Amino acid sequence: MTQLGSITNNHLSITCKTCRSHRMLAVKPLIDRLGWETRLQDIVPKLRCSACKSKGYIELQIVYVSGSGEALLGAGDKKPENETGWKSG
Protein backbone atom coordinates (compact mmCIF):
# COMPACT_ATOMS: atom_id res chain seq x y z
CA MET A 1 0.00 0.00 0.00
CA THR A 2 2.53 2.59 -1.13
CA GLN A 3 1.08 6.10 -1.28
CA LEU A 4 2.55 8.58 -3.76
CA GLY A 5 3.12 11.04 -0.92
CA SER A 6 5.62 8.64 0.66
CA ILE A 7 7.83 8.48 -2.46
CA THR A 8 7.92 12.12 -3.59
CA ASN A 9 11.68 12.20 -4.39
CA ASN A 10 11.48 9.17 -6.63
CA HIS A 11 10.81 8.13 -10.18
CA LEU A 12 8.95 5.09 -11.41
CA SER A 13 10.91 2.85 -13.75
CA ILE A 14 8.24 1.33 -15.99
CA THR A 15 8.89 -1.45 -18.51
CA CYS A 16 6.15 -2.83 -20.74
CA LYS A 17 6.04 -6.63 -20.51
CA THR A 18 4.62 -6.83 -24.03
CA CYS A 19 7.13 -4.83 -26.10
CA ARG A 20 9.88 -4.16 -23.46
CA SER A 21 9.60 -0.38 -23.97
CA HIS A 22 10.98 1.52 -20.95
CA ARG A 23 10.20 4.92 -19.42
CA MET A 24 11.12 6.82 -16.26
CA LEU A 25 8.22 8.72 -14.74
CA ALA A 26 8.69 11.35 -12.01
CA VAL A 27 6.36 10.89 -9.03
CA LYS A 28 5.83 14.61 -8.28
CA PRO A 29 3.71 15.28 -11.41
CA LEU A 30 1.57 12.25 -10.50
CA ILE A 31 1.02 13.72 -7.03
CA ASP A 32 0.02 17.06 -8.56
CA ARG A 33 -2.49 15.30 -10.79
CA LEU A 34 -3.79 12.49 -8.55
CA GLY A 35 -3.09 13.60 -4.96
CA TRP A 36 -0.78 12.59 -2.13
CA GLU A 37 -2.94 9.76 -0.84
CA THR A 38 -3.30 7.95 -4.16
CA ARG A 39 -1.92 4.42 -3.87
CA LEU A 40 0.61 3.16 -6.38
CA GLN A 41 -1.34 -0.11 -6.58
CA ASP A 42 -4.35 1.83 -7.92
CA ILE A 43 -2.32 3.51 -10.67
CA VAL A 44 -0.43 0.51 -12.08
CA PRO A 45 -3.43 -1.22 -13.74
CA LYS A 46 -4.28 2.04 -15.53
CA LEU A 47 -0.84 2.70 -17.05
CA ARG A 48 -0.75 2.29 -20.83
CA CYS A 49 2.38 1.72 -22.92
CA SER A 50 2.97 4.61 -25.31
CA ALA A 51 4.65 2.27 -27.81
CA CYS A 52 2.28 -0.72 -28.13
CA LYS A 53 -0.77 0.59 -26.20
CA SER A 54 -0.82 -2.43 -23.86
CA LYS A 55 -2.55 -1.53 -20.58
CA GLY A 56 -1.54 -2.61 -17.07
CA TYR A 57 0.97 -5.25 -18.16
CA ILE A 58 4.15 -3.67 -16.78
CA GLU A 59 7.17 -4.19 -14.56
CA LEU A 60 7.54 -1.38 -12.06
CA GLN A 61 10.40 -0.27 -9.83
CA ILE A 62 10.60 2.72 -7.50
CA VAL A 63 13.89 4.53 -8.15
CA TYR A 64 15.31 7.07 -5.69
CA VAL A 65 16.81 9.98 -7.65
CA SER A 66 17.34 12.83 -5.18
CA GLY A 67 20.74 13.33 -3.60
CA SER A 68 22.68 10.99 -5.87
CA GLY A 69 25.23 13.71 -6.59
CA GLU A 70 26.02 13.90 -2.89
CA ALA A 71 26.50 10.14 -2.76
CA LEU A 72 29.03 10.32 -5.57
CA LEU A 73 31.19 12.84 -3.71
CA GLY A 74 32.64 9.98 -1.67
CA ALA A 75 33.54 8.02 -4.81
CA GLY A 76 36.86 9.76 -5.41
CA ASP A 77 39.49 8.28 -7.67
CA LYS A 78 41.57 6.43 -5.09
CA LYS A 79 44.14 4.09 -6.53
CA PRO A 80 44.39 0.51 -5.22
CA GLU A 81 47.50 -0.44 -3.26
CA ASN A 82 48.32 -3.35 -5.58
CA GLU A 83 46.98 -5.02 -8.73
CA THR A 84 44.26 -6.91 -6.87
CA GLY A 85 42.99 -3.77 -5.16
CA TRP A 86 43.60 -5.20 -1.71
CA LYS A 87 46.01 -3.93 0.89
CA SER A 88 48.77 -6.38 1.66
CA GLY A 89 49.79 -7.17 5.18
Residue 86 within any structural domain of the chain? no
Residue 27 within any structural domain of the chain? yes
Q: Residue 78 above 60 pLDDT?
A: no
Residue 79 within any structural domain of the chain? no
- Predicted pLDDT of residue 17: 96
Residue 73 within any structural domain of the chain? no
pTM: 0.68
Q: What percent of the chain has pLDDT over 90?
A: 65
Of residues 78 and 60, the one with the higher pLDDT is 60
What is the three-class DSSP state of 87? Answer: coil
Residue 82 within any structural domain of the chain? no
Q: For residue 17, how far is the Cα from the chain centroid?
A: 17
- Predicted pLDDT of residue 1: 75
Of residues 10 and 65, the one with the higher pLDDT is 10
Q: How confident is the model at residue 88 (pLDDT cuts 50, 70, 90)?
A: low
Determine the structural domain holding residue 45 and report its residue range.
Answer: 4-66
* Residues forming a β-bridge with 39: 3
The number of domains in the chain is 1
* Alpha-carbon gap, residue 21 to 19, rounded angstroms: 6
* Alpha-carbon gap, residue 31 to 77, rounded angstroms: 39
